[in-house]
């Protein structure tokens, strides 16, 4: 109700300013603006009595086996978003299998690398693999003895996979999206190590001519990758953080409340909320997406309801447009 009043006040202020600037306030504009505010308030302002939701969707909704499989996959997606502490890296395309050592920043400001040329370093002060941001692995390209762990890194192509194993045995697979070389004294640090909306992993090694006076190669090769699950979700247009649309056409007739299904294959069910005598809405039923989109209540036509949709990630939609009985 407080938000509703603030919206009303905001519209009044807008109308006053509009009238001041235009020397008039059109009555139809006033009515149209007020109607929009009321409509917005009806769909967004809902007093809901908090009810603990089941942790397991199968305890709430009747699910098909295919939906159960999707939910398990969704759980894996959500779990990996917390990231892992990598201990091993595998790159099948160039026959790499190596232990990972945590490294930090050297006194000269550069990223450290393992002393063992057969191991790879993870920049531990940066982002964890699996979280949003650029996590970074670095390895030697060669040594006085010959080729090192990332000697063939430049042979990677788009689509090649990098598999990381965490300390608890969890695995993440990243897919190569590109590669680029930069002068070692002029590399885009923010692009390689900085934040990003994607869950990225960058692999770094030396490349180019060896500069004996500097004691290092003149360039740095950066192979960019993104989490394979993110690529699949983008292709399938699945976003674990995006809530489903709200159901439409909520209506009551006789003893039945009905609504139209949400056209989203990831929706697994619907929650029905009913208003009590104080106007607070409480969940009264859960209906699976494979069941009829109706709810039986002997007081259906004289009560008020709204319905929400729930997807495989457990995301719940905004309330539908409420059905409000004229007798209330």
217 is a catalytic site residue: no
Catalytic residue among 206, 252, 287, 307: 206
Q: Answer whether 224's CB lies under 8 Å from 77's CB.
A: no
Report the alpha-carbon distance of residue 286 to residue 96 in Å, rounded: 50
266 is a catalytic site residue: no
Catalytic residue among 111, 127, 140, 269: 140
Vertex 152, ends 150 and 157: CA angle to 5°? 110
Active-site residue set: 140, 206
């Amino acid at each position: 109700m407080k938000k509703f009043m603030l919206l009303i006040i905001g519209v009044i202020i807008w109308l006053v300013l509009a009238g001041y600037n235009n020397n008039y306030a059109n009555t139809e504009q006033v009515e149209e603006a007020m109607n929009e505010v009321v409509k917005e308030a009806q769909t967004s302002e809902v007093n809901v009595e908090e009810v603990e939701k089941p942790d397991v969707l199968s305890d709430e909704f009747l699910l098909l086996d295919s939906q159960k499989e999707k939910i398990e996959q969704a759980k894996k997606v959500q779990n990996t978003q917390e990231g892992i502490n990598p201990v091993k890296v595998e790159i099948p395309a160039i026959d790499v299998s190596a232990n990972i050592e945590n490294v930090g920043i050297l006194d000269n400001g550069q990223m450290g690398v393992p002393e063992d040329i057969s191991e790879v370093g993870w920049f531990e002060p940066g982002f964890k693999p699996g979280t949003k941001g650029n996590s970074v692995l670095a390895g030697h390209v060669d040594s006085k003895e010959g080729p090192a762990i990332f000697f063939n890194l430049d042979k990677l192509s788009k689509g090649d996979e990098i598999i990381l194993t965490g300390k608890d045995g969890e695995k993440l697979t990243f897919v190569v999206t590109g590669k680029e070389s930069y002068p070692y004294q002029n590399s885009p640090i923010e692009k390689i190590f900085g934040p990003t909306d994607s869950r990225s992993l960058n692999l770094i090694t030396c490349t180019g001519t060896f500069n004996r006076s500097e004691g290092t190669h003149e360039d740095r090769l950066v192979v960019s990758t993104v989490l394979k699950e993110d690529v699949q979700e983008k292709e399938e247009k699945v976003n674990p953080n995006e809530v489903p649309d709200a159901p439409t056409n909520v209506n009551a007739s006789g003893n039945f409340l009905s609504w139209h299904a949400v056209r989203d294959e990831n929706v697994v069910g619907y929650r029905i909320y009913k208003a009590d005598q104080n106007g607070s809405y409480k969940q009264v039923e859960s209906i699976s997406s494979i069941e009829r989109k109706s709810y039986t209540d002997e007081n259906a036509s004289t009560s008020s309801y709204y319905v929400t949709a729930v997807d495989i990630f457990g995301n719940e939609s905004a309330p539908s447009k409420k059905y409000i009985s004229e007798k209330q």
